[in-house]
Amino acid sequence: MNLLDTARVYTGQTKILVAVDCIVFGFDGQQLKLLLFKRKVEPLKGQWSLIGAFIKEDMSLDDSAKQILLESTGLSNVFLEELKTYGAVERDPGERVISIAYYSLTRLNELDLDSVEEYDAHWFGLDEIPELILDHGEMVQLAIKRLREKVRRQPIGFNLLGERFTLPQMQILYESILQKELDPRNFRKKMLSFDILTKTREKDKSASKKGAFYYVFNKEKFDEFVANGYNFEI
Amino acid sequence: MNLLDTARVYTGQTKILVAVDCIVFGFDGQQLKLLLFKRKVEPLKGQWSLIGAFIKEDMSLDDSAKQILLESTGLSNVFLEELKTYGAVERDPGERVISIAYYSLTRLNELDLDSVEEYDAHWFGLDEIPELILDHGEMVQLAIKRLREKVRRQPIGFNLLGERFTLPQMQILYESILQKELDPRNFRKKMLSFDILTKTREKDKSASKKGAFYYVFNKEKFDEFVANGYNFEI
DNA sequence: ATAGATAATGTAAATGAAACACTTATAGGA
DNA sequence: TCCTATAAGTGTTTCATTTACATTATCTAT
């Protein structure tokens, strides 16, 4: 009997544990960071891990991911996207688990610190990520790669910044994601050319005496931009 | 009790049916086609569907997808990549099923026609795709979108052509994927500039009296190309 | 008043993409 | 065998985009 002979016959099929794991990125103004958790249960208790949970009978994958994020960080309405599904037979030593990895971009300063502490979490710079359980390290590396690709095509950087931000802040963010220095003149020119930022009259003076003007993301213009089939290369 | 309190406690968790569905693309020399199957079992028997099967206990997702493809088309060693995982609670009326969609690019002329016929399959042009069961239509649309993006960045076109091919054939393929006409001078210039094609001495005379030279894909040069961090915009 | 530090700005050169038309090779029929 | 029809093959110019690069402006603190 081969695979297809039994296709779509529901009874007698193997059911499997399914989990969602979240790769949570945040930006602290200097560098891109990753939120990791100390695993609380056996096996592998005490080791660093992504946050995740099993899928419940009555919840979709996307909703599960959203809820995990809400419970662990207090954040909702964040950028959250499926990364890849991991389904090697022996990937979890406890029992077979298929895991759908999601990655999210969060505003680090809006985080609910109580939630985070409750779960024994810690932010790590990308160059100081500890060894992770199972295939979580692989998930993280793929997420970083995907983020680098995506940030060049879509303006997802806003998800990592606060409501308002300065162009120098934004440049630092892009530099920390792409891991390379960008020319400030070219960066500003390009970023402003999309015409999706609105300059405010206030300045952020925390980083310099002169101060840098705050900008806000202009959703209406962005929606037009998307409708016209955007191209957002940095 | 919230989601995270129970995270990674294996016992007592809900197990779920998990399936793999394959979107199979092929190119017949004129247009890009999609392989669809008449569903053989209830519910929804007789309707058009992607080919798929439930995951067995002892097989990874990737291997399941490979095997499905092998059984239904006789093809192995084809381009096969995860597309997205579909996990809405009510997506399957029979019972909850989480499905990992894969898409593959095959050489239509190498297909095992017996296998295909045995499964009541049919090739459809992208403009004549019938209504599909469940969320398979959505999967197909996403796969087409992904293919269009991907073909601009990676030389996956080779997977849809035979061992050897002419540049006009290749241009038709790209035009049928991207759904727009390309300038033959610019296309050839660009394609040859990657330096991953080797010209042979034979010509294909089926399409013209003059005949077009066959080229073959040069894997060594391509590997160099990849190693240097390619960029394959068409 | 000045020094120090970051923000803000423009232009020229190089590269890459797009637009465009004619010549070449061959088979098949006159 | 010569002519015709048909698709294959080829270069150049224009335009747009990207990269490289240096100075002035603004403000605070001393």
Both B137 and B213 in a single domain? no
Same domain, B122 and B30: yes
What pLDDT, on a 0 to 100 scale, did the predictor assign at position B1? 45
Interface contact B100-A119, CB threshold 8 A:
no
What tens digit of pLDDT does each residue of B64-87 get?
999 999 999 999 999 999 999 999
What is the token pair recorded at B139?
A: 């999967």
Q: Examine residue A157 and state whether it is found in any structural domain, yes or no.
A: no
Predicted local distance difference test score (pLDDT) of residue B134? 94
Q: Are residues B40 and B68 in the same domain?
A: yes
Nearest chain A residue to B64 by CA distance is A3
Is residue B158 assigned to a domain? no
Burial of residue A165 (number of CB atoms within 10 Å: 0-12, 13-18, 19+): buried
Contacts of A14 in chain B (CB under 8 A): 17, 54-57
Q: Please tell me whether residues B180 and B65 are part of one structural domain.
A: no
Asked whether strand D has any atom less than 7 Å from the CB of A192, the reply is: no
Strand D positions closer than 7 A to protein CB: 5-12, 17-22, 25-29
| Angstrom distance, B204 CA to C28 C1' | 17
- Residue B21 domain flag: yes
Using CB atoms, pick whichever of B7, B61, B96 lies closest to residue A85. Answer: B61
Do B192 and B87 reside in the same domain of the chain? no
Q: Tell if A87 CB is < 7 Å from nucleic strand C.
A: no
The answer to whether B129 and B85 have CB atoms below 8 angstroms apart is: no
In a domain, A36, yes or no: yes
pLDDT, one tens digit per residue, over A2-34 is: 566 555 578 889 999 999 999 999 999 999 999
CB contact under 8 A, B96 and A57: yes
Last residue of a domain, one of A129, A151, A173: A151
Show residues of chain B in contact with A57, CB under 8 Å: 14, 16, 89, 96
Please calculate the CA angle B53-B56-B60 and round it to the nearest 5 degrees. Answer: 95
Residue B48: is its pLDDT beyond 90?
yes
pLDDT of B9 > 80? The answer is: no
For residues A203 and A211, is the Cβ–Cβ distance under 8 A? yes
Q: Helical H runs in B48-166? A: 61-73, 113-118, 136-151
pLDDT at residue B229, as a whole number: 65
| Residue B67: domain span | 3-151
Q: Which residue among B15, B61, B71 sits closest to A2, beta carbon to beta carbon?
A: B71
Q: Is residue A232 part of a domain?
A: no
pLDDT for residue B45: 85
Residues of A in contact with B96 (CB under 8 A): 57
Indicate if A141 and A175 belong to the same structural domain.
no
A99 part of a folded domain = yes
B230, two tokens: 């390619």
- State the pLDDT at residue B181: 95
* Proximity of residue A171 CB to strand C below 7 A: no
- Verify that A193 and A77 share a domain, yes or no: no
A46 touches strand C (CB under 7 A): no
Please indicate whether residue B62 or residue B230 has the higher confidence score (pLDDT). Answer: B62
B40 against A150, higher pLDDT? A150
| Interchain pair A56, B3: CB under 8 A | yes
Same domain, B196 and B144: no
d(CA A54, nearest CA chain B) in Å: 6
Give the residue from B98, B131, B151 where a domain finishes.
B151
Chain B positions touching A68 (Cβ under 8 A) are 3-4
Instruction: Tell which of B22, B54, B69, B231 to mutate to test the A interface (max A CBs under 10 Å).
Output: B54
B141 & B168 share domain? no
Lowest-confidence region among A1-15, A206-220, B215-229: A1-15
CATH of the domain at A89: 3.90.79.10
What would the pLDDT profile of A44-87 be if each residue is shown by its tens digit? 888 999 999 999 999 999 999 999 999 999 999 999 999 999 99
Q: How far apart are CA A16 and CA A86, in angstroms?
A: 13
Distance from CA of B205 to the nearest CA of A (A): 40
Share of chain B above pLDDT 70, in %: 95
User: Which residues have CB under 8 Å from A84's CB, separation 6+?
Assistant: A100, A101, A139, A142, B82
If you count them, how many residues does chain A have? 234
Q: Which residues of B touch A39 (CB under 8 A)?
A: 8
| Chain B residue nearest residue A88, CA to CA | B60
The pLDDT value recorded for residue A2 is 56
Tokens of A30: 């200097």
Residue B5 backbone class (left: φ over 0; alpha: ψ -120 to 50; beta: rest): alpha
Q: Could you tell me if B198 and B115 lie in one domain?
A: no
Strand partners, A213: A203
Q: Which two tokens stand for residue B123?
A: 């090739």
Q: Which of A9, A14, A18 comes nearest B57 by C-beta?
A: A14
Tell me if B31 sits within 8 A of B176, measured CB to CB. yes
CA distance to partner chain A, nearest, from residue B87 (Å): 5
Residues A100 and A137 in one domain: yes
Residue B16's beta-bridge partner residues? A16
The domain that holds B198 is classified in CATH as 1.10.10.10
Residue that terminates a domain, selected from B127, B151, B175: B151
Taking a C-beta distance cutoff of 8 angstroms, is the pair B8, A52 a contact?
yes
Residue A129 distance to chain B (closest CA, Å)? 22
The predicted pLDDT at position A229 comes to: 64
In a domain, A123, yes or no: yes
Cα separation, B183 vs B193, in Å, equals 15
- Closest-lying nucleotide for A205 based on CA to C1': D27
Tell me: do B41 and B129 sit in the same domain.
yes
Choose among B82, B87, B119: nearest Cβ to A60.
B87
Instruction: Answer yes or no: is B202 CB < 7 A from strand C.
Output: no
What b/e sequence results for A48-74 when a residue is b if at least 16 CB atoms lie within 10 Å of its CB, and e otherwise? bbbbbbbbbeebbbbbbbbbbbbbbbe
Asked whether the predicted pLDDT for residue B2 surpasses 60, the reply is: no
User: Could you give the number of structural domains in chain B?
Assistant: 2
B-chain residues near A71 (CB < 8 A): 2-4
Residues in chain B: 234
Nearest nt (C1') from B212 Cα: D8
- Has residue B234 been placed in a domain? no
Shortest Cα distance, chain B CAs vs residue A31, angstroms: 24
Q: Which residue of B has its CA nearest to A94?
A: B10
Residue A198 pLDDT class (50, 70, 90 cuts): very high
